[in-house]
Amino acid sequence: MRSRALFLGVLCVTLLGGACADFRRGPAADACVKAPENDPVFETDVYPILQVRCQDCHSKGREAQSSRFLMSGNAKEDRSLVVMLVSPADPNNSLLLLRGTGIDHTGGQRLFPDDPEYATIRDWIASLPSATCP
């Protein structure tokens, strides 16, 4: 029975793009959670900090343009690439925060762990699901 359910589940996910969620198991540790369309904390609290502290270099035509952290100036557009640089299970070890605080970062130290801005970014990271869809 179990393998039949599994087969149907795979079929559903493959053919219907997950429309028959009944066959899928509940959230597993490795479940991938789709990024929300709107993320007001990111848009109004986190992104403006990155714009002030990082965008000068991390944008087209600037010195960090070949890095994966390339800001467009639009929070909604950039959210997915920022999410790729964070580790919700261990927020302080997120590449975004490590590089931002100057670790192995050509751009030097732009964030300070004692600053409220650092806490804002860290708390946002901690609020994210631990696995996001690619």
Interacting residue ranges for ligand HEC, rule: CB under 6 A: 53-54, 56-58, 63-64, 67-69, 85, 95-96, 99-100, 105-107, 110-111
Q: 55-63 — which CB contacts under 8 Å span 24+ positions?
A: 57/107, 58/107, 63/106, 63/107
Nearer to ligand HEC, 7 or 80 (CB): 80
Report the residue number whose CB is nearest to ligand HEC. 107
Task: For residue 106, count CB atoms less than 10 angstroms from its CB and return exposed for 0-12, middle for 13-18, buried for 19 or more.
Answer: exposed
Nearer to ligand HEC, 24 or 105 (CB): 105
Q: Which amino acid is at 68?
A: R
Nearer to ligand HEC, 39 or 125 (CB): 125
